[in-house]
Each structure stands twice: as structure tokens, then as C-alpha cells.
Amino acid sequence: MLRSTAFVLTLFVASRAAAAQPAVDPARQDWFGKGGLRAVIGDNGAWGDHREKYNGVYLLERKGLKESPFVPFYAGLNLEHYFDAVDLSSKDRDRFFEPRNAPMNFRRIDAMTAELHQPATPHFGVESWTTFTVDAPNAVDMAFRCTPHKDAFAGGVMGVFWASYINAPEDKSIYFLQEGSTLDAPVWVQLCTQAHGTQSTVRGAADTIEIPFDATGTNLYANFSPLRYSVPFYYGRFQDHALIFIFKPGPIVRFAHSPSGGGPAPKKDDTNPAWDFQLIVPDPKVGESYGLELRLVVAPWKGRGQVLETVRAYYAEEGIALP
């Protein structure tokens, strides 16, 4: 009898936990994944606590995690800005956050894969396609492709910016390999910026693109750290897990950090950081396509050696050789 009671209680608790999540609108978002890793992925619509105008990964569940690593109000891998050499942060918020505000179409491809398609945006005229694949047991693959339909980028550079708002980690930092070091001979760098928009963007060792910004303000993408990275990946710590952002080499990718970009932490005694990244396209051409690919790995923390092995495994799977 005790076994039966315990079994019923387990089912009751599980059903209550499932019922705690609101129903999805299949025209705007849905659940994806299996095997211990599940995510809600959607467009700029609202869902439960998740606020409208934030797209990408609303929520991520993994066995062993007590809660999603992303701030419930916002999202991870959220397409946030298109930018050029003009500072718009305080002048035109709709244009500054154009990917958040422009119409976006959600499509469920299969149980593991979602696509977000955004028709050409009003100002910059960029059409984009983002595919998310939730790959058990611990990875979300993102492939982004865009085509500018207007010659609208001042300064001769197209910037694309993604934000991931992290849910009250004890350590707000991101970590990456210092310029000149390698996976086999790593030298680690820690970045936790002192304030939003202060030395916030990290460039790769070979990144020579200079954008002639007319003003910088507190825009993360216009304020540069003296640090440079050698291999295109970074990680941060969340609870007893690591979040590892691994980029396929080729495009110009920049990292960005804010100690407070995700707003107040749940207890209101701290702030949520943002662990962000950017795609830089010099001399973009109307009608041509540009993009990037990355893998976000969410796995139990087993030390930096395991982080390096995870990066090696991704590059080996993709047939990429690195120094």
C-alpha cells in the first residue's frame, strides 16, 4: 500500500509540475527536444511570464537543472539588433530593436527543430531565417542566415547582435581563450564588465574591422575590451552546469558582456547578466546571404578540461581543424 501511495504521489507531483507551464500557441511557439533536454522556442510573442518582443529560446529544461538558465521574462539566443555606424540607442528604439519589433514567423519543422523567419525589416531591410535544433542530451544548434534587401548600412558594415539573458548566476563572468593560446595550450581569460557598455565587446585575434561609430553611448557593440580571443567559443557557469557557446569558424564573431543587461535578479539584490555575441559583415551587398552557426551546450560542470573536450568534439563533428 505504501508503494502505491508513493507512486500516486509521484504522478500527482509530476502532473502539477507539467500543469505549471502555460499552454503554447502553436502559431508562435512550441516545445522541442527529448532525452532530458527540452526547450520552448518561439517568435516575438508572449508566453506565460515570457514577455513579447523577445524571440529564440524562451525556456530550457535539462535533467539536473533546477530552473532555466534564461531569465523567464526574456530569452536566450534572442535576435536583438541590426546595427551600423549610427548610434540609435536613445533616438529610435523601434529601429534600435528592429528584430524584436518587426513581424516574425514561427514554424515547427519537427519534434526537434524550429524555424523563425523574419521578412525584410522596415529600416535595414534584412530578411532572416534562424533554425534551432534541440539535440539530446545537452545541445541546441542555431543556424542563422540573412539577406539585406536595402543598401541601408552606414559605415560600410552590417552588424547583427544576439542577447542571452542569464537567470541570476552566482558568477556573472564569461571565460574564453586568450589571444595566442590554443585548445592544446590554453590560457584562460575571465570577462566580467564593471558596468553596462564598459569595455563590453571582445574581438577575435584576426578581427581588423573598424566601424566609424558616430557615437558610442552605452551600446555594447560600440565599446571594446582590450582583450582578444583565439578560438571562437566562450562559457559561463550556471548553478552546477556550464553554458558553452561554440561558433563555427569563418564569419567575424564578437563576444559581448553586460553585468546587468538581464535586469534585476529574482531577489532584487543583484542583476542578471547578458552573455551576448555579434556577427560583423564588412561591405554587405544587397541580395547576398550571410550567416553564422553555433552550438550551445548545457552540461554539468566538470572543469575546464571538459569544456575543451566539448569544443574539440563539436569541431571534429563538423570536420573543422583548428590550430
Q: Which residues pair with 76 in a beta bridge?
A: 57
* pLDDT score, position 13: 34
Distance CA 230, CA 35 (A): 33
- Mean of per-residue pLDDT scores for the chain: 92
Give the DSSP letter string of 157-178: EEEEEEE-BB---S---EEEEB
The DSSP H or E segment spanning 193 is none
Taking only the tens place, the pLDDT of each residue in 111-140 is: 999 999 999 999 999 999 999 999 989 999
Q: What is the pLDDT of residues 274-294, one digit of tens each?
A: 999 999 999 999 999 999 999
Instruction: Check: CB of residue 246 under 8 Å from CB of residue 117.
Output: no
List Cα–Cα distances, 208 to 143, 205, 280, 305, in angstroms: 24, 8, 11, 30
Would you state the pLDDT for residue 17?
39
At which residue does the C-alpha cell 564573431 appear? 253
**63 with 203: CB under 8 angstroms?**
no
> How many other C-beta atoms are found inside a 10 Å radius of the C-beta of residue 153?
22
Cα Rg of the chain, angstroms: 20
CA dihedral 90, 277, 109, 118 (to 10 degrees): 30
Report the side by side order of strands in the sheet with 37-42: 29-32, 37-42, 56-62
Q: For 164-173, how does the pLDDT look when each residue is reduced to its tens digit (9 = 90+)?
A: 999 999 999 9
C-alpha distance from residue 123 to each of 34, 40, 84, 92, 96 (Å): 39, 29, 12, 11, 10
Cell of 278: 555579434
For residue 306, give the C-alpha cell: 571538459
Answer yes or no: are the C-beta atoms of 227 and 39 closer than 8 Å: no
pTM: 0.93
Confidence of residue 318 (pLDDT cuts 50, 70, 90): very high
Q: Which CATH number fits domain 24-317: 1.10.150.120, 1.20.120.1460, 3.40.50.720, 2.70.98.30?
A: 2.70.98.30
Q: For residue 11, is pLDDT > 80?
A: no
pLDDT, mean of residues 158-166: 98
Q: Average the pLDDT over 301-313 and give the result.
A: 98
DSSP 236-293: EEETTEEEEEEE-SSSEEEEEEESSTT-B-TTSSSB--EEEEEEEEES--TT--EEEE
Report d(CA 290, CA 288) in Å as an integer: 7
Q: Give residue 317's identity as a one-letter amino acid code.
A: E
The answer to whether the beta carbons of residues 257 and 274 sit under 8 Å apart is yes
Distance between CA atoms of residues 165 and 260, nearest Å: 9
